[in-house]
Amino acid sequence: MIRSMTGFGEASSESAGVHYFLEVRSLNNRYLKAAIRLPEEFQGLEAEIEVALRARLTRGSVTVAGSCTDPSASAAFTINHHALSSYIEQLKSTKQVASGDVKIDIGPLLSLPGVLQPPADEEARLDHARAAFMGLLEKSCTNLEKMREREGDMLLKDLLAQRDTIITQLEIVKQHAPKVVSDFEARLRQRMATLMTEMGMQAAPVDIVREIAAWAEKTDISEEITRLSGHMEHFTDLLARKPGPAGKGADAKPVGRTLDFLAQEMLREANTMASKSNDAVISRAIVEVKGAIDRIKEQAANVE
C-alpha cells in the first residue's frame, strides 16, 4: 500500500466556551516543507506543532492553519489609559493638532506599543490552546492520512498497470533476443555467399564465426534484461510495503523517493537495450517499456 502526498484534514473542538479549529493541507514536494499559521497570540506554539507534524509526515508541502474564537469577555484586551493619554497629550503638542488642521483619531492609537494589554491569564490561555491545538493536529493528520491513502490506492493501480506492461514487454524481449543472433547469422552467411560467388572466392568458416561472435557481443542485452527484471522485483516489493508514521522502522518508511530513484535505474537499462539492439520487434517492445517507465516517474512524484 502506498500513499499520495496530496490530502486534506481538519478537526475542531470547544472547551470552556472557546472554539478551536485546525486544518492541514498537503501538496507534492520532494521533502517535508511545513508552513504553520496560528493566531498572533499563539504563534509561540508553531515550533511545537512543526515538531509534532514531522513525527507524522515525511514528505509534502504541508500547510497548517489554526483559529481560535473566544466570545467571552475574558478574551478582551485591556486599554492602558495612562499610555493612551500620554500619546494623546504628545499629539496635542504638535503644531498640526494644536492649529486644528489634523484631528486625533483614537483608533490608530490603539495599535501603539503599550496601549492594549493582553488578558492577565495569557499564560493559562496559551497552555489551554497548546493542549487543544495538539489534539486537533493529531485528528487532522489522521484525516489527512486517510485521504492520502485513498488517493494512494488510485496511484497503486496505475503503477501496477505500468509494471505489468513492462513485465509483458520484457518477456517479449527475452523470447526474441536469441532469435536475433540466429537471424543475423543467416543473413550474414547468405550475403557472404552471394559476394563470394560473384567474386569467385570462398569465405573461410572461421571468418564468418568471428564476425557473428563480434556482432553478438556488441548487441548482447542479456545483462540489461537481468538487471531490469531485478528492478521490477524490487519495484513490486516497494509497492507491497505498508507505510506507517515517520521513523517507525524500515518497512514503514514512505517509498516515493525510492520509487523515483528506481525508475531512473529502470530507464537507464531500457535506454542501453535500445541503443544495443537494431531489431524491430525488440525496439517496439523497448518503446513500450520506456513509455511505462516515464509514467511511473510521473506517478512516483505524487507518492509519499
Tens digit of each residue's pLDDT (9 = 90 or more) over 33-77: 999 999 888 888 999 999 999 998 988 999 999 998 876 545 566
Is 85 found in the same domain as 102? yes
279 within some domain? yes
Q: How many helices (H) and strands (E) does the chain have?
A: 9, 6
101 within some domain? yes
Looking at residue 222, its pLDDT comes to 80
- Which three three-digit cell numbers place residue 304? 509519499
67 within some domain? yes
Looking at residue 86, its pLDDT comes to 84
114 within some domain? no
pLDDT beneath 70: ranges in the chain: 1, 71-77, 97, 117-122, 180-219, 242-252
pLDDT in tens, 229-248: 999 999 999 998 765 554 44
Number of domains in the chain: 3
Is 25 found in the same domain as 140? yes
- As beta bridge partners, residue 61 has 27, 33
287 within some domain? yes
Cα-based distances in Å from 299 to 167, 206, 294: 18, 52, 9
268 within some domain? yes
Looking at residue 250, its pLDDT comes to 42
Range of the domain at 131: 7-74+121-147
Is 154 found in the same domain as 86? no
Look-up: residue for cell 496601549? 115
Looking at residue 263, its pLDDT comes to 94
137 within some domain? yes
2 within some domain? no
Is 250 found in the same domain as 169? yes
Is 176 found in the same domain as 105? no
Is 180 found in the same domain as 271? yes
Domain CATH for 55:
3.30.230
Looking at residue 206, its pLDDT comes to 60
Please spell the DSSP secondary structure of 13-34, one letter per residue: EEETTEEEEEEEEEE--SSEEE
Is 153 found in the same domain as 133? no
d(CA 14, CA 243): 32
Burial of 47 (0-12, 13-18, 19+ CB in 10 A): exposed
Is 252 found in the same domain as 275? yes
DSSP-H helix ranges across 200-244: 205-219, 222-240
Please state whether beta strands 60-69 and 32-37 pair in parallel, antiparallel, or not at all (unpaired): parallel
